[in-house]
Structure 1
Amino acid sequence: MQKALLFLSILLCTVSISAQTIYEKFESRKLNATRDLKIRLPKNYDADSDLKYPVILVFDGDYLFEPVVGQVAFQTYFDKMPEAIIVGLVQGKERFYDSYHDEVTGLPIEFGARFYEFITAELMPYIDKNYNTSKFKVAVGHDLMGNFINAFLLKDDPLFKAYVNLSPDFKGQMAANISNRLTWLKEDIFYYMVTSDDDIAPLRGGILDANQKLQQVDNKALKYYYDDFTGDSHYTLVTGALSKALDKIFELYKPISDREFQEDILTYDGTLDTYISNRYQKIEDLFGIHKPISEDEFEKIVKAAIQRDDIASLEKIGKLANKQDPTTSYGTYYMALHAEKLGKTKKAKKLYEAALDLESTAHINKDLILNKVEGLTLATDDNESDSDN
């Protein structure tokens, strides 16, 4: 099974990169130089559409762009994260100057400060202007660039909402700076950091120290994730870390899990249409994208309503489904199920018959609905016969 998944990941990566990567040269006034960009757009991207996509900015795009693209293709295939616009910044020999920093604070200075301004004042505004981007931005950086991306956190309104630190080479007081900043941050921030027992020793020491500081941060707005791999080098940890990071950052986007079903939905204090509406509103508020509630998700909360003996939720779930898509049958089917459970046989039968005129879905097909109609017809006939006797 693992070999099959690995093969699929490689295949998706190969197809995705070759078919949808745009190579651009960006003229920067801040740097007085030209920078090469690799831009991967989502499958079926339409510039005229209202759909918005998160942006993942990959520093060290020379070698990190392709692993990020492959992992995003893999996770979007299984609906574990939204499709995203991935921007790889090729740095090459300029990397040393891009990461130039103050030895005490660890913050960008001189060349590094100009590179920082290039990102904030030129590159990201350009991406927002020319592509359908959402407000959710992710920064990915490895060792020196892992240190660099933390500088964006120190602004009042951080440019990036998620930070993927791949074995960061913390400089000066950077670890203390970010732990202090994250303590007082008011908006949701995702922060992922990784090292390994076979990582470069000085870097690993700094990361372990930073982790101790970050674990002490008591702030509900911070979503902090940390991994310490076994047996991976400074370079081989990248692939697994990207998988873990994206999985955690976009956890809310993923379909309802068994844990959520048992611990959150079954115990929810209120009708379940409210629960699922709030869940998807959080997705829109956080990631800046609109994700319709899938039929599978509707089926899960209907199942939960039945388990809870929560008849009131069935009707409200049906109305919510019809509001989202009145052309499909499952919303009307749920309303019919509500009427049936209340013993309103005639109303239930009419609703089931109305569902027959709508589009069938994966879970609610015409055969299922016809069985319901026939069962209620027999029940109605039996009741009428009993009343005649």
Structure 2
Amino acid sequence: MKKALLFLFIMLCAISINAQTIYESFQSRKLNTTRDLKIRLPNNYDPSSNLKYPVIIVFDGDYLFEPVVGQVAFQTYFDKMPESIVVGLVQGKDRFYDSYHDEVTGLPIEFGARFYDFISTELIPHIDRNYKTSKFKVAVGHDLMANFMNAFLLKDDPIFKAYVNLSPDFKGDMDENISNRLKWLKEDVFYYMVTSSDDVAPLRNGILEANQKLNQVDNKALKYYFDDFEGHSHYTLVTGGLSQALDKIFELYKPISDREFKEDILTYEGTLDTYISKRYKKIEDLFGISKPISEDEFEKIVKAAEQRDDVASLEKIGKLANKQDPTTSYGTYYMALHAERIGKTKRAKKLYESALDLESTPHINKDLILLKVEGLAVAGDDKESDID
């Protein structure tokens, strides 16, 4: 019964992916032919909206597109990564020519060089013109196409900010070129690579050698991640690799973790409104998307402020929350909490009463606020007259 339900779920997901996928034939002047594309837009995609989305370019879209779309759907459902536009390149019999390279350098030449130009000067501009894209672009490739996509990293201003190498088949000096380039990159770049115990032996050996070189790169701009799975083949490592890669690449986007709470927030020097503002500004700068601070995140930094006995942060967090959304109660509630903590009872009572007129939230509802008002009334007003 369980197997039948699982099979049904997989079939429904496959139908959903196909139903929401745009199939397009793109005429390329560089290649003097048409190329088939698969394009998956976010569920709530609105071309008139100001929202912008990261773009994931999937080489070998014949077979890699659906696994990538499935993993993106899974992680966005749980808010572990931003909704993204996924573009799959159907390569088929052209794959050999697309990946054509110099045997010494490993870099694209002839047919491969034309395919490289097609990606950078035709495909990417086409996607940017027609869809709501951010500047954050991810390249995903398997074996030969993973080797090919690394060539984009060697440009002065790489168009991809993240590289997902699924059992890459490094050619010539490509691994050496990569490690040398990553030493000098100044802007953040994410680089993920995976192999497995049952991977193709020559590929696995080359990947392990490349991993040794990349581990020696000392550059804070580089976010390097490596996995070596046990028992997976050259093909079955793909799904696990995609899961791990997207999880690592978009780690900053995810809600505050227990580790971040303990190691970064509790020890932060300065008020916590500054910490959370910088965190979300980095999300915007890195991924090119504007993400509002959630009430859950505000609750976490308020909890941290209380654990730190950091009364000053409470008021500033409240002001930040009110600036983001003045219609909800939690910003005013935090400011009232600050006034109560410093003994300004009249001001606290007035602020709590003001919060009652605002929209309730899952954490701060009217019952909670009324308890605060009643508690202050029982305690009695202090002699303070300054309620400004």
Aligned residue in 1 for 2:253: 253
* CA deviation after TM superposition for structure 1 residue 43, in Å: 1.3
For 1:28 and 1:142, locate their aligned partners in 2 and report how far apart those are by CA, in whole Å.
23
For 2:213 and 2:305, locate their aligned partners in 1 and report how far apart those are by CA, in whole Å.
43
For 2:52 and 2:362, locate their aligned partners in 1 and report how far apart those are by CA, in whole Å.
27
Equivalent residue pairs, number: 380
Aligned residue in 1 for 2:195: 195
For 1:9 and 1:173, locate their aligned partners in 2 and report how far apart those are by CA, in whole Å.
44
For 2:331 and 2:134, locate their aligned partners in 1 and report how far apart those are by CA, in whole Å.
30
Aligned residue in 1 for 2:173: 173
Change (3 A) 1:285 1:212: same
Would you say 1:325 and 2:321 are equivalent positions? Answer: no
* CA deviation after TM superposition for structure 1 residue 311, in Å: 0.5
- 1:13–1:71: 8 Å Cα contact kept in structure 2? no
Change (3 A) 1:381 1:207: closer
* CA deviation after TM superposition for structure 1 residue 7, in Å: 8.4
- The farther-off stretch of 360-369 and 12-21 is 12-21
Name the SS for the 1:168 alignment partner: coil
Aligned residue in 1 for 2:272: 272
Name the SS for the 1:238 alignment partner: helix
For 2:366 and 2:373, locate their aligned partners in 1 and report how far apart those are by CA, in whole Å.
10
Which residue identity lines up with residue 162 of structure 1 in the other structure? A
* CA deviation after TM superposition for structure 1 residue 20, in Å: 1.9
* Percentage of matched positions with identical amino acids: 85
What pairs up with 1:1-389 in 2 under 5 angstroms? 10=10, 13-14=13-14, 16-380=16-380
For 2:256 and 2:170, locate their aligned partners in 1 and report how far apart those are by CA, in whole Å.
37
* CA deviation after TM superposition for structure 1 residue 378, in Å: 1.1
Name the SS for the 1:197 alignment partner: strand
* CA deviation after TM superposition for structure 1 residue 8, in Å: 11
* CA deviation after TM superposition for structure 1 residue 14, in Å: 3.2
- 1:51–1:132: 8 Å Cα contact kept in structure 2? yes
* CA deviation after TM superposition for structure 1 residue 314, in Å: 0.2
- 1:9–1:70: 8 Å Cα contact kept in structure 2? no
TM-score, normalising length from structure 2? 0.95
- 1:12–1:73: 8 Å Cα contact kept in structure 2? no
* CA deviation after TM superposition for structure 1 residue 379, in Å: 1.0
Q: CA RMSD in A?
A: 1.7
What are the superposed Cα offsets for residues 179-218 of structure 1, whole Å, 9 maximum, x if unpaired?
1111111111100000001000111111111111111111
For 1:139 and 1:256, locate their aligned partners in 2 and report how far apart those are by CA, in whole Å.
26
Name the SS for the 1:66 alignment partner: helix
What are the superposed Cα offsets for residues 24-73 of structure 1, whole Å, 9 maximum, x if unpaired?
01000100111110000011100011101000000000000000000000
For 1:214 and 1:255, locate their aligned partners in 2 and report how far apart those are by CA, in whole Å.
29
- 1:13–1:69: 8 Å Cα contact kept in structure 2? no
Change (3 A) 1:9 1:228: farther
- 1:318–1:331: 8 Å Cα contact kept in structure 2? yes
- 2:53–2:82: 8 Å Cα contact kept in structure 1? yes
- 1:9–1:74: 8 Å Cα contact kept in structure 2? no
Change (3 A) 1:381 1:345: closer
For 2:12 and 2:286, locate their aligned partners in 1 and report how far apart those are by CA, in whole Å.
27
* CA deviation after TM superposition for structure 1 residue 19, in Å: 3.6
Name the SS for the 1:314 alignment partner: helix
- The farther-off stretch of 314-323 and 17-26 is 17-26
For 2:59 and 2:161, locate their aligned partners in 1 and report how far apart those are by CA, in whole Å.
16
* CA deviation after TM superposition for structure 1 residue 258, in Å: 0.4
TM-score, normalising length from structure 1? 0.95
What are the superposed Cα offsets for residues 312-337 of structure 1, whole Å, 9 maximum, x if unpaired?
00000000000000000000000000
For 2:282 and 2:40, locate their aligned partners in 1 and report how far apart those are by CA, in whole Å.
26
* CA deviation after TM superposition for structure 1 residue 12, in Å: 8.1
- 2:164–2:191: 8 Å Cα contact kept in structure 1? yes
Which residue identity lines up with residue 61 of structure 2 in the other structure? G
Q: Which runs of 5+ in 2 are unaligned?
A: none
For 1:345 and 1:188, locate their aligned partners in 2 and report how far apart those are by CA, in whole Å.
48
- 2:346–2:382: 8 Å Cα contact kept in structure 1? no
- 2:164–2:193: 8 Å Cα contact kept in structure 1? yes
For 2:141 and 2:56, locate their aligned partners in 1 and report how far apart those are by CA, in whole Å.
11
- 1:152–1:159: 8 Å Cα contact kept in structure 2? yes
- 2:80–2:250: 8 Å Cα contact kept in structure 1? yes
Name the SS for the 1:112 alignment partner: helix
For 1:312 and 1:48, locate their aligned partners in 2 and report how far apart those are by CA, in whole Å.
41
- 1:13–1:66: 8 Å Cα contact kept in structure 2? no
For 1:112 and 1:206, locate their aligned partners in 2 and report how far apart those are by CA, in whole Å.
22
Q: Which runs of 5+ in 1 are unaligned?
A: 385-389
- 1:71–1:242: 8 Å Cα contact kept in structure 2? yes
- 2:80–2:254: 8 Å Cα contact kept in structure 1? yes
- 1:16–1:73: 8 Å Cα contact kept in structure 2? no
For 1:11 and 1:276, locate their aligned partners in 2 and report how far apart those are by CA, in whole Å.
41
* CA deviation after TM superposition for structure 1 residue 380, in Å: 1.2
Change (3 A) 1:167 1:339: same
